[in-house]
Structure 1
Amino acid sequence: MVRPLSLPTARVERLRSRLSPRDLAVLASLDRVRLLSLNQIRRLAVTDGSPRARTRRAQLMMTRLTKLGVVVRFSRIIGGVRAGSSGYIYGLSDVGQAVLNTDGPLGGRRRRVWESKPYFQDHMLAVAELYVQLVERHREGTTELLAYDAEPANWRHFSGAGGELVQIKPDAYVRIGRAAMEYSAFIEVDLSTETLPTIQKKSQRYIDYWRSGMEQQWRGVFPKVLWLVETERRRDRIASVIGKLALDGQTLFDVGLLNDGPQILSGSNQGAAA
């Protein structure tokens, strides 16, 4: 059963006082991307020491945060039983939301975390991986991560041809700085769970939004729509779908492999503003 959260202010303040800046940064990352694996948390939050030492410190940190009740450790283990605690997945609890003073989904009441289906977790972790890689490149100085908005903060609304309200719901909205340029993109992570007609419908919705001019008026530029996929075969199939769209709309899209996402995002073919 999903129940709204009600926590005494004094308890929230006591919990907050027991958290380090690094703890709070982990909670903020979970609030942003919803789920993170231990490996992803280690790469975001524990950046010094040998890989083995960093993993151990991340394990200890997340065990402590789980016991405090500010995060939830899911029963599923990435990589199977042999992965052990290094394969755990974590999400932000209702208590963690209260500590961060954030609202629940869509600005609603904070809610208790419940288990989601594995394919949905895989999708969220794939989106989170892109975020982690962009943070790593930001630290290295390769590119500057100017913005990363996940759902629902990145949703857009516009009026359809009949005056109806239409939504687009990217997995992420990203802005990257490189030299004197900014590159922006709406991200769609595809794990081959959507049918090609659904891909076509989503893509057409982006074209309709582009034609509305709302994003250009707000941001000064329309971002690229970047489909990121797991295999070259899937990339070719989605590229074929995009090739059937109106010619003027096809230039809005790029399709690439998930592992190439950060490189594509910082390329010269993205939506750019000087």
Structure 2
Amino acid sequence: MPELPEVETTVAGLRPVLEGQRLTLVEPRRANLRRPFPIDLRQRMTGARVIELGRRAKYGLIVTDRDDVMIFHLGMSGRWRIDPAEIEKHDHLVLETEDGRRLVLNDPRRFGSVDLVRSDEIDSFAPFAVMGPEPLGDDFTGRYLKAATKDRKAPIKQLLLDQRTVAGLGNIYVCEALHMAGISPAKIGGQISGPRYDKLVIAIKQVLKAAIAAGGSSLRDFVRPDGELGYFAKDWLVYGREGQACHCGALVLRRVDSGRSTFYCRKCQK
């Protein structure tokens, strides 16, 4: 599943094509993805001018001059294609601009979603209403994380993947950040000290910024809007490296937690 850096990279790729442009065509090509397309999507978006693009957690935001926000989620396999030579089977939403550009949302597995909300109601959009702070924002600090996990008995990895704790973190970057911070993924959240949380927050921000700068990870289904694969994967320290040497010389281990692979170093992470 595309994680926060992949969505940030996608939004950055869409921005020069969409921002400031009036939409001359908005055409859903089927009734639904994971859930139905908004019934009035075509009516409200056609003729609107895109004034801003942004991101909240793993969702992309397309804001128009009609005070509407189209919110998209890429699901497991979604991606935007820019100026495709032809429309393909799994292109489920088509946008065209006054400059003659075409953008299509392609999603073979159809686990993505498209929603439309008023700008002044975006904070009450159901997934956003319960989310914690953005991990790259100023509100996400070691002090916040210490308070949010006070007396919690769950492992720190599980707490970080809970969107109510922090918005947008996924399995890959949680594994990497915990390794960078030297914290075991199995460590009980309520038992981690303030200074260790300070170090963890720094690691989370560093690994996310590095991934965004590199264009996202190169997981099988993720392709940037310009058609290029991201290439942060080659810099992973533990994720996907089971049996290979950590920088300390010990072997990277893997176990399964709640159906997700956890990669870690027993020597480095306590």
TM-score (ref. length: structure 1): 0.26
